[in-house]
Structure 1
């Protein structure tokens, strides 16, 4: 959401204004880091090196302009190299050093390193085929993988620890002093970089030479523009570089305002990280493949939570449904038009005068009745709770009485303006805020109803009258940390607090957050914020969500139809057809947008939208299985093409088609107005693919004959272009049900697409969809010449085989022909397949 008050603040605007947000030239620390001539001067004190309990300790010094001591430690975390350097101060406040505490998983494992001291350098070895040569003077890190140089750190001598005054920010007073840090990383042989969300930009990061660097600073950005390096609502300081046989990630563990400058020369890329303050802390992950990098990063920061199954269904939202009767009318019309959905949302107007943890006394005076009606068909209600708390009622008074409100630079409760008007903000970094937050949620949720879920918005935090639409950097949090130090992780602390408040329930919590940081994937989903009802926003949503998957936070989506404006019927239809592939699938609209529930689109659009949403539900077993696999191994839920074909350089630039997990389902949504054809590029590299448009299996794509090895296909307005890779088995549920909960006992249809060796394999995850530690089954399904097998019993009503007819037991006599496909029904095949 965005506020109309912003118009008053900036004098009226129709799009985001660059002048509302700092460019590098406006930020003292960035400007001077970029202008740094690489003078260096940092060196390792050789006599300081000491290995203790598997950690290498030492001290970096810089003589000019005055002697400083910078203690560092090198450790191994999940088989990856971590460097952490602080500043030794005799007096004064220490640098912020707790970003890793919030970002890291409690299960992250430390490893051991070996080191050899040489005359002018130190060799550090760890894991398999990994070595770092540390040059003493000047400081230089050279990373080897499989005996090849892959990365050089500080090659351009841009290491900086804010030891001299760097120029005050325009806001003035900064009581903790100038503490900016910066460092350069040169990636050898890498020209394709990804990650560092959130930006409305291409998936492959651009060269920023002569232009604005990417900025990581969580802000409430009004009507954001596409093709932009401006900051947005969340920040994950993880950058991935990919080439044919090696993938590298740089995890910059810092929650302050950060700029990332990228330069590409020949086949090399250099990345200059610059943060306003904090300790120097980074991890380098080097592995063979992108998925291996995700696996390691997931072990460090935690994998995505296994979501509530219902949260993978369709979410219907707008700002705002007017009252209980409006909610229940929309609810009933989904059933009337036979469109499945799982969750209906309430924006801020459900509250009593925008006071969170209250209900409007007239419009929502009986929430229990509303929840009861929704619960009959397995539906949930999602309500918004933001971190700004209106002054003058019991919740804000409780923050003050418990001393858990964010303070200003004078150590007084900070007051600013947001939706309720004058507000104060809960300091979720304070340990005492958690029990207070718990009591608020427990009291707020109507008795006996588990079907209420939560939305934490505006948690950048958004402050309408604050600098850059957020709060002053010299505000104070628990521990006397300045807000500038923790700004990018504040949203994480808020949605984690909400998650913990709901853990006493049997049902898995669901929280949607707008602001996020590394580690947010453990407890929340995200969406891309206040997009617009234009084709370019539909198009950019795909690389934005793929980037979130690359950066380890796959439970991501974008507002279907666009938040601002009124989409054409064609755009709305195409957006639903793309949105069914968003891991988080929600339709949402601004309060001034026309109502656009699916049935209002009229014919023929309502039929196409209905078919798209039903396809999402048919594919629910694949989505849920992909989420389970992501929760275990960190892999994306929707996967960029280069994850499958990173050996092919062209694959590194494909951002408009993607795989659904490891299922073999390849999708290319239509994102151009009036399009009548689409072309898949991913069929160029030798694998067998079958047409799978709208989830209906068909012939090999060679019959679609595109040029240059690609596959072109005609599409109508009702078509969702899909292919299925040979060697895949896709479990689907084909019966219409009103919600995921009502699908639980439905049988499966197995789509078996054989590869060139007449083999196929698939997986299926099954549990109750709700409880946190309930029973589950993870099933492997295989097909080859000897038969069709599964590792556990599966309730199957139909098997469809394409690509061959030599599977034992179904190769003759048991086959019916439907449009050239081999179809086995339960009339000719046992329902249960057991190893």
Structure 2
């Protein structure tokens, strides 16, 4: 075993050319995936195919927004029918939830295996982890009288505008809005529930002489199904025992009229998902959803990566719909796109686009949510009502993070900290990978290399900086290590199929894994973060949960065996994709509870994730490579993650493996400044690449990019706040902002920042000195740096030598920023603001600013400022309006911010009528004499050389926390 471990580490330390494909299954090597694809092939090859599933009309009951019934599955060559209870809940939000279980499994019987027990029922606890609200039934939903005898129709949603039409035989559901069908379930007849059957050991027949042929014929007619992977399955030297037998679930979901589907992260692929069964440029395997440690992952692939969000949305002109497949087991998704042929007699009528998808999971219930939109924002909002919105993080973690594997001593950390100051490069967080520990034992410090963590924390705190340390869920199997002794003695670890605590190999060598499904294990894990237990940590220490897929070096597909057992006698196969979130959740709660009376907002980075993980912190795209391809791949991955309900995401700037060229490193920093999570990170074998080491002119250009991030932190923080209240992505693709623009539906190499109107197109091609930016509307767009005007729908060339970042401002927006460079975001807390007003073609603009203390939960009791800024061309007035909700801590916070002012107002696209204007008047809220106004000077700059006109008001003397009006008329 030791030889295996050393060999495995050697493979990790020396980067290979690409991912090792033989480590991970293809669909053909996954029994249930192969069976479901074969089921689909069989159905499509038979012209008279009919799904064997029918809804028993006599079983249907409807009450208070819930429809219940029984689906009957007809078995081949048998009068027996499998009974599948179905519940359809029409929710108050307009979302519909469909659950299908299996009657024979609902009793909760136990299957004995070796010395352990496994529950026979289908796993039904995924919602306990993923769902936090939004399940109130719509009692206004009603059965329609015009359904007929073969269907049942339910009217639901706003003013009963939505329809669900249930076909009885074969079973299926059509979801209609605005008189059109938008989503169809089982339209192709691929519903497939592998029902419970007891294992029957087949008797081997030894034929007598002369009877060999007859025995072969008898055996061939016993079963037409391939049973080879029903009860056990081998891959890569590991055998997965399956005591419950085959139990996969599958369903086809069609989107008629939709050509683009997005979501189901995480994959290193385009945002608009590709076909997996035919089609130019498509894939041959389905998209796989199975949390896995895939270092040096390949690009343009449906291979599984570190996390899973089984949410898909479809986009057509002015219409967005979606589905959420709530299942924690290994899942695959096939996609087929096509166009129906238009009637030759219908002149001018094009064929209709359609996307057909086929979902199948290895175990668990069928638990599906259907969203009818109709906008992208409706999907993210309603999904967020169910699974929670992104947490509002500490303000500091929106700044720049500096990380590598590893800063080798506490002196090294303090030296890096000083050099950032020496080169006047702002940053907020420095990170420590596994080498800070004493022999890979988490919750300890290396006594030789980190003897004074308290001194290190104190130096960082002087400039309000933080340190993040890594804690993984594998615990070193070693005597006299108190954490592992606790885990073993209290039986808090994951069990193997024999019923003992499971052992595997990871960074420490032999390790055990916390069973974070166990309430006692979670309580214990949370307690380990207390300052009195995790000695050497401080208020400015935060956490990083890596390897929590879970990564097991000697396990099947580098993860935990599926037949391991978790709390409640559930198999790992049932909960695999949730495991990482349970660890993330326990760590998140541990930071909140680590010292009574000092509650801070936690920050925990996770590598694995599932639906609902957005409530807990941030994630990143894992172990990427220092090459241009991985730089290009980052943005579509991050955009896809954001529209899938998890907007706080990033990608390792510079690439984790390998050494980037200076050009690549520079362009990556320029791109990274637009990642919600902005972190430079590198492998232990790479050369040091802190920004100050790049040399002239690269250090200066990288510094400019980082300073741009800090200048725009008010806009970023406002976008994070918006995400925390309605699920809006922090960075947004073209289709999200312009859902009418069909030409932009596949664009995934440019982004909008929140609702600011800022449009960025990072340079991701080696040697490129220009970028083609796509504009989807007829508003004027201005270069952020020099106000050059770009207007007109379509592609525009933006000149971008190495020192330039392609960044435009869409007319109609007001962008808050802070222009004084500081060492960290915390030191900017009381700095004045600049308001950048970018007028649209009608001469108007709007924007907002959200600010709070950036550290505590006091904002939940009103300790925040939320202002709406508006400029109206007709009146010529720029105003600040309070849109906050008051609470018990409002007054104290406003007092603390009472002197924070607006130091400058810049108006881009200022009208020609201002040419001769030299003064503006200002009226302040709460002035003693409201009739008195003060005058402030205005400087006007006329348009010239392709650049827009602009005007500036310096030091208008208005406060950010109060209302005021600036009159330009």
- TM-score scaled by length of structure 2: 0.83
State the alpha-carbon separation in 2 of the partners of residues 602 and 506 from structure 1: 42
Q: CA deviation at 1:825?
A: 3.6
Query: Equivalent residue for 2:766?
Result: 673
State the alpha-carbon separation in 1 of the partners of residues 635 and 136 from structure 2: 34
- Is residue 222 from structure 1 mapped to residue 279 from structure 2 by the alignment? no
Query: Per-residue CA shift, 1:450-474, capped at 9, x if unaligned?
Result: 1001000000000000000001000
Contact 2:901 2:958 in 1 (8 A): no
State the alpha-carbon separation in 1 of the partners of residues 727 and 614 from structure 2: 10
Query: Equivalent residue for 2:549?
Result: 460
Contact 2:912 2:942 in 1 (8 A): no
Q: CA deviation at 1:159?
A: 0.2
The equivalent position to 1:203 in structure 2, one of 268, 271, 284, is 271
- Is residue 40 from structure 1 mapped to residue 48 from structure 2 by the alignment? no
Query: Equivalent residue for 2:220?
Result: none
Q: CA deviation at 1:824?
A: 2.9
Contact 1:512 1:525 in 2 (8 A): yes
- Is residue 403 from structure 1 mapped to residue 430 from structure 2 by the alignment? no
5+ residue gaps, structure 2, are 44-49, 111-119, 198-224, 279-283, 340-352, 883-897, 920-936, 944-948, 965-969
Q: CA deviation at 1:711?
A: 1.6
Query: Equivalent residue for 1:87?
Result: 102
The equivalent position to 1:148 in structure 2, one of 180, 187, 190, is 180
The answer to which structure, 1 or 2, has the higher relative contact order (CA under 8 A, 6+ apart) is 1
Query: Equivalent residue for 2:777?
Result: 685
- Is residue 6 from structure 1 mapped to residue 8 from structure 2 by the alignment? yes
Alignment map for 1:819-830 (pairs within 5 Å): 820=943, 821-827=949-955, 830=958
Deviates more, 1:499-508 or 1:192-201: 499-508
Q: CA deviation at 1:658?
A: 0.9
Q: CA deviation at 1:366?
A: 1.7
State the alpha-carbon separation in 2 of the partners of residues 12 and 304 from structure 1: 34
Max Rg structure:
2
The equivalent position to 1:305 in structure 2, one of 377, 391, 397, is 391
Query: Equivalent residue for 2:881?
Result: 791
Query: Equivalent residue for 1:265?
Result: 338
Contact 1:750 1:796 in 2 (8 A): yes
Q: CA deviation at 1:44?
A: 0.8
Query: Per-residue CA shift, 1:161-181, capped at 9, x if unaligned?
Result: 112776333224111221100
Q: CA deviation at 1:291?
A: 1.1
The equivalent position to 1:698 in structure 2, one of 768, 787, 790, is 787
- Shift in CA distance, 461/5, structure 1 to aligned 2, threshold 3 Å: farther
Contact 1:677 1:714 in 2 (8 A): yes
Query: Equivalent residue for 1:239?
Result: 312
Query: Per-residue CA shift, 1:256-303, capped at 9, x if unaligned?
Result: 000000000111000000100100110011112111111111111100
- Shift in CA distance, 35/828, structure 1 to aligned 2, threshold 3 Å: closer
- Is residue 585 from structure 1 mapped to residue 678 from structure 2 by the alignment? yes
Q: CA deviation at 1:448?
A: 8.6
Query: Per-residue CA shift, 1:612-665, capped at 9, x if unaligned?
Result: 000000010011000000100111000001112121111101111110011000
The equivalent position to 2:588 in structure 1, one of 499, 517, 524, is 499
Q: CA deviation at 1:53?
A: 3.8
- Is residue 754 from structure 1 mapped to residue 754 from structure 2 by the alignment? no
State the alpha-carbon separation in 2 of the partners of residues 142 and 725 from structure 1: 39
Alignment map for 1:348-387 (pairs within 5 Å): 348-387=434-473
Deviates more, 1:221-230 or 1:444-453: 444-453
Q: CA deviation at 1:596?
A: 0.1
Query: Equivalent residue for 2:68?
Result: 57
Query: Equivalent residue for 1:538?
Result: 631
State the alpha-carbon separation in 2 of the partners of residues 674 and 192 from structure 1: 32
- Shift in CA distance, 639/469, structure 1 to aligned 2, threshold 3 Å: same
State the alpha-carbon separation in 2 of the partners of residues 276 and 83 from structure 1: 18
- Is residue 771 from structure 1 mapped to residue 844 from structure 2 by the alignment? no
Contact 1:797 1:831 in 2 (8 A): no
State the alpha-carbon separation in 2 of the partners of residues 243 and 315 from structure 1: 38
- Is residue 738 from structure 1 mapped to residue 823 from structure 2 by the alignment? yes
State the alpha-carbon separation in 1 of the partners of residues 259 and 250 from structure 2: 22
- Is residue 72 from structure 1 mapped to residue 86 from structure 2 by the alignment? yes
Q: CA deviation at 1:109?
A: 3.6
Matched position secondary structure for 2:327: coil
State the alpha-carbon separation in 1 of the partners of residues 142 and 726 from structure 2: 27
State the alpha-carbon separation in 1 of the partners of residues 192 and 878 from structure 2: 61
Contact 2:240 2:563 in 1 (8 A): no
- Shift in CA distance, 809/781, structure 1 to aligned 2, threshold 3 Å: farther
- Shift in CA distance, 242/174, structure 1 to aligned 2, threshold 3 Å: same
State the alpha-carbon separation in 1 of the partners of residues 6 and 307 from structure 2: 22
**RMSD between superposed Cα atoms in Å:** 2.0
Matched position secondary structure for 2:749: coil
Q: CA deviation at 1:691?
A: 1.2
The equivalent position to 2:578 in structure 1, one of 482, 489, 496, is 489
State the alpha-carbon separation in 1 of the partners of residues 939 and 851 from structure 2: 29
- Is residue 136 from structure 1 mapped to residue 168 from structure 2 by the alignment? yes
Query: Equivalent residue for 1:713?
Result: 798
- Is residue 162 from structure 1 mapped to residue 191 from structure 2 by the alignment? no
Q: CA deviation at 1:700?
A: 1.7
- TM-score scaled by length of structure 1: 0.96
Contact 1:815 1:822 in 2 (8 A): no
State the alpha-carbon separation in 2 of the partners of residues 52 and 788 from structure 1: 53
Alignment map for 1:25-36 (pairs within 5 Å): 25-36=28-39
Q: CA deviation at 1:54?
A: 2.7
Deviates more, 1:323-332 or 1:395-404: 395-404
Contact 2:453 2:537 in 1 (8 A): no
Alignment map for 1:88-103 (pairs within 5 Å): 88-89=103-104, 91=109, 93-103=120-130
- Shift in CA distance, 4/782, structure 1 to aligned 2, threshold 3 Å: farther
Query: Equivalent residue for 1:114?
Result: 142
Matched position secondary structure for 1:432: helix
Contact 1:805 1:811 in 2 (8 A): no
Query: Equivalent residue for 1:428?
Result: 516
The equivalent position to 1:394 in structure 2, one of 482, 487, 494, is 482
State the alpha-carbon separation in 1 of the partners of residues 247 and 38 from structure 2: 17
- Shift in CA distance, 827/809, structure 1 to aligned 2, threshold 3 Å: farther
Query: Equivalent residue for 1:127?
Result: 157
Matched position secondary structure for 1:222: coil
Q: CA deviation at 1:214?
A: 0.4
Query: Per-residue CA shift, 1:433-487, capped at 9, x if unaligned?
Result: 1220122110444579310010000000000000000010000000100000000
Q: CA deviation at 1:394?
A: 1.2
Q: CA deviation at 1:306?
A: 0.3
Matched position secondary structure for 2:454: helix
Contact 1:195 1:239 in 2 (8 A): yes
Query: Equivalent residue for 2:503?
Result: 415
- Shift in CA distance, 542/638, structure 1 to aligned 2, threshold 3 Å: same
Q: CA deviation at 1:5?
A: 4.6
State the alpha-carbon separation in 2 of the partners of residues 5 and 789 from structure 1: 66
- Shift in CA distance, 9/86, structure 1 to aligned 2, threshold 3 Å: farther
The equivalent position to 1:177 in structure 2, one of 215, 222, 245, is 245
Query: Equivalent residue for 2:405?
Result: 319
5+ residue gaps, structure 1, are none
Deviates more, 1:803-812 or 1:485-494: 803-812
Matched position secondary structure for 1:804: coil
